[in-house]
A and B are shown apart, each in its own frame.
Chain A
């Protein structure tokens, strides 16, 4: 069966990376056509963890779909809760008390930090450094404990309700959070010393795995991927929602577009999230955390509604088409990782396997969210 290529220099072979592979973090499969170790073609194959979330949304009442949103992207579940809740509130015209909005922002930013910390550990693990993973998990553990205290869950949260949040935060949470912010401020320089300034890491990330702004626009990449290519786009700033306009924070943008730029964007975002959390705790108003008179059975008026939020991986949008009944006519979830992964095929061409792994890790993929 062995057929020799006409010209040995043109000989390529196919390497099937995944769905079970240490670097694809889940069940992503990438079909690689390789020339030696250089990638000629990379084709992501999806669908190994497809669970029909959108279809499930059409067959359930609005409240029944809430737990599903926490299972799209299990690393920043609260952002996805937030996106869905906001979309339904917009459709049904439900107002949210201010305290609840602040609690939402604080917890979502906490969740963003925990997501970025896990990404940091897993990314350095992809590059062959084992130790930062354990350090990052050490910090993340405190976060998960804090969030468990108010939400009751550690990973797949279902904390928000239409018109507010399920549970008010208590003093333990506030003091614990202040302690965490203080701790994280000392840990971030440590991560920079241990990881960012490491000469081997810099050589592996700098000037490698370029993603141009054009490529981002072509495939609709958002979040840290787009911001690492110099596109100054953040839903929190450009289509403000909740109480984000009340906070002072910067949108880290690095124009270079290499893996290092995306790495730095995420590291800076941890810092900015800490700022938001601090301001949120200072400004936290008192009052109820649930709107009064939210109907038990929601029947939003006929129409087409969309709401986007900035999740840890980019813009997460929920499109809700209501026909006036208690279930949506159509529920479309626009997940950021799907778009971010789509550009991989083009960006990975001509890279070495090791650099393609570094590129894929810098996209921060969560596979259940891609397949939905």
Chain B
């Protein structure tokens, strides 16, 4: 009996993607704790395995061995559905991310659109989880998460639209192919529009806010809302929210490195490949962690003011200037 190559390809990518998401999340949890430790003049995890590298594995086993408790009065269906709604889209978006010249599950020519379509489902999961928990802290947190996501998707998409006007394609692999060396990166103002660095900044800030990372972690502001939307979740229910968050952080940083930093292309034109993609992405992930462990949390109105009064006007300006420049030249 032989397996059709297309079927084998699909199975290979499904297994590979899920394995990567899980490994990546456990690596990021470990990295986050190490980074936090060193920023705070501690060592971080060091007992489980060399440099504590198996710490997240131990945590994962602990989480999986726990019971998923559905609190009294909670909406059982929504409560169980919410972690899946967070996790599944987070895995799905990996389909279109090009890790290498050929290492992409489906090189769809609408790649960017697919990612944003799936990423928007995430917030629905948070809302349902918060609502279904029958917990006031969770409800407050869910409403916060929704208004935050709505506010930050606008400038993010405006920036992406601006970039697509320059690249003339929505295929992520082709965007990468357009940036073979460091001087071709869309980060720099000479590659199409003088507003590109601002666009990168807006995109990066928005991706931090979209993934509920500090200083925009209002959804789970632990000193105000205990643990926010996942207050009532135990075991793997909480674990899936956690996995989803880290895989979203990775996707946000991967997108930034694909669209602005040349993805898997080597900055110096030597040996392009998956390693460059990972180096650039994990560097951005490190920056995200660095910010988290340095800054205090903003408040909700501070966050919305930043989006509506600063980021959206600048994103619109970016769009107009770029459109004008493209028309003139």
Could you list which residues of chain A lie within 8 angstroms of chain B, going by C-beta atoms? 13, 15, 21-23, 37, 124-131, 133-135, 138, 198, 200-201, 203-204, 352-355, 357
Contact = CB atoms under 8 A, between A and B. Distances in A.
Interface residues of B, number: 27
B41 A127 contact: no
Nearest to A14: B136
A130 to B, nearest CB: 6
Nearest to B222: A22
B214 interface: yes
B146 to A, nearest CB: 13
Query: Which secondary structure dominates where chain A touches chain B?
Result: helix
B131 to A, nearest CB: 14
B40 A127 contact: no
Contact of B214 (A128, A134, A198, A353): A128
B223 A125 contact: yes
B39 A127 contact: no
A147 to B, nearest CB: 22
Given A133-B40, A204-B296, A355-B299, 4 more contacts: A126-B223, A129-B297, A130-B40, A134-B41
Contacts of A200: 215, 295-298, 302
B297 A128 contact: yes
Contacts of A138: 41
B226 interface: yes
Contacts of A128: 214-215, 217, 221, 223, 296-297
A124 B296 contact: yes
A352 B41 contact: no
A203 B298 CA distance: 8
Interface string B217-238: 1000111111000000000000
B161 interface: no
Contact of B296 (A21, A37, A134, A198): A198
Contact of B224 (A124, A201, A353): A353
A203 B302 contact: yes
A131 B294 contact: yes
Q: Which of B39, B296, B300 has the most CB of A within 10 A?
A: B296
B292 to A, nearest CB: 8
Contacts of A352: 299-301
A354 B299 contact: yes
Contacts of A22: 222-223, 226
A250 to B, nearest CB: 28
Contacts of B222: 22
B136 A131 contact: no
Given A23-B223, A203-B302, A353 B140 contact: yes
Contacts of B294: 129, 131
Interface string B147-186: 0000000000000000000000000000000000000000
Interface in B16-61: 36, 39-42
